[in-house]
Chains A and B, each alone.
Chain A
Amino acid sequence: MTEQRRSKTLTVVLMIAPFVITYLTVFAYPVYKMFALSFTDAPLIGEGRWIGFDNYIKLLNQKLFFTSVWNTGYFVLLTVVPNTLIGLGLALMVVRLKGWLQSLILVLFFLPYILPVSVVTQIWQWVLDQQFGIAQYAIEFFTGKRISVFRDPIWAMPMVALVTVWWTNGFNLLLFIAGLRNIPADYYEAAALDGATRWQCFRRITWPLIWPVTALVLTLQLILQLKIFDQVYLMTEGGPFNSTYVLLQLVYREAFRLNHGGLGSAVAVFLFLIIVTVSVLQYQLLRVRGR
């Protein structure tokens, strides 16, 4: 009996050890270390002194911190709701198609999502290039002049948002299509018998039944877009005049450029807390839906 128990214990240990050890080393410990570092004046590499909440106080006195918070919020505003609505709109179009045509169209919409971020930014830098970019025809048509969009403080963030929507929308589209396919066809047949118009069908059947997926997409987007860094860094490096500086970029700047590991960690803690809060809210929201 003890022999059997010992072998069971050994099996469990061998099975969970690789994951648990990796988890503790590269995940749990860094979480702890992030908090610990944020209370010190440590450089990126090396020891620091305990300085309590000084880093946090310093952040509250740093203009760039508020700029980054504001810009991150602005970016979230520009992406989350539009991305969700566009995803739903495209899904409503695609879901009506049949067979190979649907697969083909779906690929066209989904392809950007699997591209690496640096490929996406390279493509758009070319498309939006001030001198030769093909999108400048459209920009010139609407504004009367060519605009170097990533060097213009007013255009930069909306353009980063546009590229982001293009890049990430495929995933939302997919979730919406799955949601739409789950709506039983009899509902629409019954509505058609009652002579319902297309709009009435959408308003009374589709929208209420797709709302749970919409809530899921909205919250997933919110969490995702709060973590923005790659696109901004590659297209504008936070410029011009810090008009696209975001929180994660401040982490990068403080820790990796200015060698302020402690202060960088404090910004990271701030971002971490925001995202955990949003995630908890999302969990509550989706649990309510699940019951």
Chain B
Amino acid sequence: MQRKSIGNILLLVLTLCVACMWAFPIYWAVVTSIKPEQEVVTKTTFIPDVFNFSAYYFALFETNLAAWYVNSLVTSIGVTVIVILISVMCAYALSQIVFAGRRLLYGIILASFMVPSQALVVSQFVLMYRFGLINTWGGIILPQLIIPVVVIVYKQFFDSVPKELREAAKLDGCGDFQILFRLYLPLNWGITTALAIITYIMAWNAFLWPFLVTNSEDMMTVTVGITQVDDAFGVKYARDMAVAILAAMPVAVAYLLFQKRVTQALMLSSGIKG
């Protein structure tokens, strides 16, 4: 018994060490960002001598970060709202209404899992160009709207709502839209927030597509924009780290606030019930 607890303590210490090493690059980025540029390259200090926020001042006021934030916020919220809305309606119809072609549609959506959206960038770019949407919010949003897994998760959840609820509501004279938005959606509020948060994080973090569809610096999203900063100003690590931290903030905060929901959504989307 004695030996076992020593083993446990050793394992705990090992786990803590590995976890600290794992998170160290993030800590190092934070520490670097609050050092004066001079100190960054002259000595290796794990806790800065003085707290210096000039890098943040630079990031906020002397780059296009504000515009990139607006672009990222508008496009990721846009993607999230539209994805949830169109997917939930489609899923409700697939789950609750019998209509011709229902199984075919569901099969097609399931099969879409296999299509790597990255392979579609050339033809999507051509399409957005024809629509005149290069360098616009619409151009960033549109190709990100199809996330088959959201439809599938919703359908599974709607399938498990007792049929009697819908029948009772029908007898009371409710239409299907009312039943969906006043009954089924509130019943599945938890899964809706989970899917919305994960969609938002994915849209905020998207790189390849926003990178291709925007070339004017004013229209870039944060993820794309921050890669332009050092080109323009030379390598300044405190500044780079401050910019990076500000860029990650909206998703880091969303994750820390909604940890359970994020993990639940990830489990569901990989096919493991959360």
User: A: which residues have CB within 8 A of B?
Assistant: 8-9, 11-12, 14-16, 18-20, 22-23, 25-27, 29-31, 33-34, 37, 44-45, 90, 93-94, 96-97, 103, 105, 107-112, 114-119, 121-127, 129, 131-132, 134, 166, 171, 174-175, 178-179, 213, 216, 220, 223, 226-227, 229-230, 234, 248, 251-252, 255-256, 261, 264-265, 268-269, 271-272, 275-276, 279-280, 283, 286
Contact = CB atoms under 8 A, between A and B. Distances in A.
Given A16-B93, A27-B146, A119-B226, A93 B115 contact: no
Given A93-B11, A108-B22, A272-B115, A30 B151 contact: no
Nearest to A105: B19
A30 B120 contact: yes
Contact of A115 (B127, B243, B252, B271): B252
B26 A123 contact: yes
The 5 tightest CB contacts between A and B, nearest first, are A279-B114, A33-B123, A19-B90, A30-B123, A15-B93
B142 interface: yes
A127 B21 CA distance: 13
B123 A122 contact: no
Interface residues of B, number: 89
Contact of A29 (B114, B127, B201, B243): B127
B18 A93 contact: yes
Nearest to B263: A174
A194 B25 CA distance: 44
B8 to A, nearest CB: 8
Contact of A119 (B44, B244, B259): B244
Interface in B110-149: 112-127, 129, 142-143, 145-146
B205 A126 contact: no
Interface stretch (B48-56, B81-89, B161-169, B185-193): B81-89
B interface: dominant SS = helix
B15 A93 contact: yes
A45 B126 contact: yes
A120 B142 CA distance: 26
Contacts of B127: 25-26, 29-30, 33
Contact of B32 (A19, A126, A178): A126
Contacts of B93: 11-12, 15-16
Interface of B: 8, 11-12, 14-16, 18-20, 22-23, 25-26, 28-29, 32, 40-41, 44, 85-87, 89-90, 92-94, 97, 99, 105, 109, 112-127, 129, 142-143, 145-146, 151, 175-177, 180, 201, 204-205, 207-208, 212, 222-224, 226-227, 237, 240-241, 243-245, 247-248, 251-252, 255-256, 259, 262-263, 266-267, 270-272, 274
B41 A275 contact: no
19 contacts: A12-B93, A12-B97, A19-B86, A25-B142, A27-B115, A30-B143, A31-B115, A97-B15, A108-B19, A111-B26, A114-B205, A115-B252, A119-B223, A119-B244, A175-B272, A178-B272, A227-B118, A234-B207, A251-B121
B251 A276 contact: no
A279 B87 CA distance: 23
Contacts of B263: 110, 174
B29 A123 contact: yes
Nearest to B117: A27
Contacts of B240: 122, 125-126
Nearest to A137: B44
Contacts of B223: 116-119
A107 B256 contact: yes
Contact of A94 (B15, B23, B271): B15
B122 A261 contact: yes
